[in-house]
Every structure is written in structure tokens, then in C-alpha cells.
Amino acid sequence: MKKNILKKFFIKIAKALDFELIDQNEFKSPTLNKELNENLSNLKKSIVLPLGEVELTRKIKSLLIIFRTNTNVEMWNQNRKRIFDEPKIEYVCRSLYSVIRSIKYLNKNNPQVKVKLKIIDDNSSNENLDKINNLFKSEDIEVEVINHDLSIHENIIKKQKKRETFSNLSTLLRAFEIGKNEGEDLIYFLEDDYIHIESALDEMVSSYERISSQIKKELFICPADYPFLYMDNEKTSLLIGSNRHWRTISKTLMTFMVPKSFVDKYWDIFFKTCEDLNNPWEKYFYEIYEKEICISPIKSLAVHITNINSGYGLSPFIDYKKLWDENKYE
């Protein structure tokens, strides 16, 4: 009550002194009575400050991470080499190690969020599976490695020319099915060639809470700031997360964080995406992004360690070599 009285008094004083206030928490100017996406060209002098706290009405209770891998396929549907001249298993292990580091960071800073990790593996050798399992030997992380059987989707997914294409569609469908059946709150669908900064999961969860509470909507989150998302010169909105800015986007790849409610709501699209290879693969998800808000961080919280000439582009302002070296596992 006291805070509201002081706030109203402060607004009156600002008006009297010909100042305009910008409320960053509500994204509006209380003295102009305008939203920040409207024309504010008649501003004379401004004070930009938070006029109130963001009440976190959307608290995250759990995070299910579903990691898909095929250590035998160096580069899906491509004959190019990746950024670093290392075998695929090295990329998978460093990607997983970055997830382990990020889970531990999240557990330390947000212990109320229950985290589970499921790894869907298709046809890796015993040697590579041992390397994956060894990453978790001394870690207090709830993890399950699932040896995927492609035959469970033989009558669901259209036959493909290459086994690796069918495998990618099938493991994605398996990930979606697990998310639908076992997810409780947030679900992070993750491919096997993303390396995360240590604070990535904590920032994704905390920013989800803050932004979702602020705009009163559920979200899709892409962890990478892709250059190709800037090519269309489309209108975008900037939002303030827990530790960086985020921007609205209309496209993602198949690595994204989403609430369980969206998996249920848009299950037909999740399912249809896996029935056959599309061009682009994610095209049906673009229909969802016309209705729901999807955001990505500026700068990236995870980088896609793909080929250096990737059409998606490499996330800017990231020291790839440093991030690669930081996630060298024992």
C-alpha cells in the first residue's frame, strides 16, 4: 500500500517537472500512459528505472531434458566437416559434459527445480556408450540412457532413403513421446551438438519465470542466437531476462525448451513433424510460432557446433575454442 502511494506521488512529481518515466517492468510509460511499442516521440526528458518488482507468478517446478544422439553419424545429411576436427563421439561427450555442468549450476542456484536427464541413443557402439555412461559415474544427476529401437516407428514414419534420416525422425518422435508422457513442467528437447555455457539452464529457467510472469503467457525458448534469424528483417521485440536480453523469433531448429502444456496443445504438429522429412524440417513449428511467443537470448547460452559454413550461421560474439576447451571431460 505504502509503495503504491509513493509510486503515484513520484509520477505526479515527474509530470510536474516535465519528465517522462519508463517502467521497464511493465513495459510502458506511466506518465504518457503508453506501451513501449507505441510512438514515444514526444518524450522530452526521461527517467528509466524499475517502478516495481516483477512478481514471479510462473514458478518452474521441474525440468526434463531429453538428449538425442547417434554417435555413428558425423554430420546428418551433409558431407562437410565440423568446426573442430574431432570424431562425433567427442562432440557428443562435450555437449553432455556441458549439460552436466549446467545442471549442477542450476541445482545450486535453483534447488527447487527437479531435473531429470534422458539420453535417447540410436545404435552407438559399446565403446561409445561406455564413454557416455562414464560421464555420469561420479555425478549426482538423475539420468537414464535409452537404447532406441527404430522398429517401433516402422508403421508410423514414412520409409526414408537413408537409415540416418529415419533414425533422426524416429529418435525425435521418441523424444516427443517421452516428453508428452513423462514431462511435468518444462521440457528441453536437445540435439547432440550443442555446447552450453555453465549458467545456461539456470538462465533459461529463471528467464522463463520472469518473462512468462511478466507477459502472462507460456513460451518456447531457443538457447542459441542464430545469425539466420536476422536475415528476414522481421519485426522483433526485446525482453529482459534474468541476466541478458531476449528477442522474439519466428523460427527454431529442433533444440528448444517448452512447457508440457504446449506439447499437449500442439501434439498434432509435434507428431506430424516426425512422419516424414520436411524442407525445412521444422516448418510445421513455424505455425505454432505465429500463435505463441518464442524467444532466443542475446547472446547465445548454447552454441551449435555444426559445420563452419552452416546456412544457420555461427552464433556471434562467442569464443568457440574457449567454450570447447572448458568442456573437456576427464
- The DSSP output letter for 145 is E
Domain region containing 162: 62-326
Is the same domain home to 32 and 78?
no
Backbone phi, psi, residue 116, to 5°:
-125, 145
Report in angstroms the alpha-carbon separations of 232 from 227, 235, 249. 10, 9, 11
Is the same domain home to 272 and 310?
yes
Q: What is the DSSP string of 19-48?
A: EEEEETTTTEETTTTEETTS--TT--EEEE
Is the same domain home to 83 and 36?
no
CATH number where 201 lies: 3.90.550.10
Is the same domain home to 206 and 289?
yes
Total domains, the chain: 2
Q: What predicted TM-score, i.e. pTM, was given to this entire model? A: 0.84
- The DSSP output letter for 292 is S
Task: Give the residues across from 117 on adjacent strands.
Answer: 65, 143
Is the same domain home to 211 and 257?
yes
For residue 55, tell me if it sits in a domain.
no
Q: 3-state DSSP call for residue 171?
A: helix
For residue 80, tell me if it sits in a domain.
yes
Is the same domain home to 31 and 73?
no
How does pLDDT run along the chain (330 residues), one tens digit per residue? 655 677 677 667 766 776 555 455 554 444 445 454 444 344 444 444 454 567 889 999 999 999 999 998 776 555 567 888 899 999 999 999 999 999 999 999 999 999 999 999 999 999 999 999 999 999 999 999 999 999 999 999 999 999 999 999 999 999 999 999 999 999 999 999 999 999 999 999 999 999 999 999 999 999 999 988 888 778 899 999 989 999 999 999 999 999 999 999 999 999 999 999 999 999 999 999 999 999 999 999 999 988 666 677 788 899 999 999 999 997
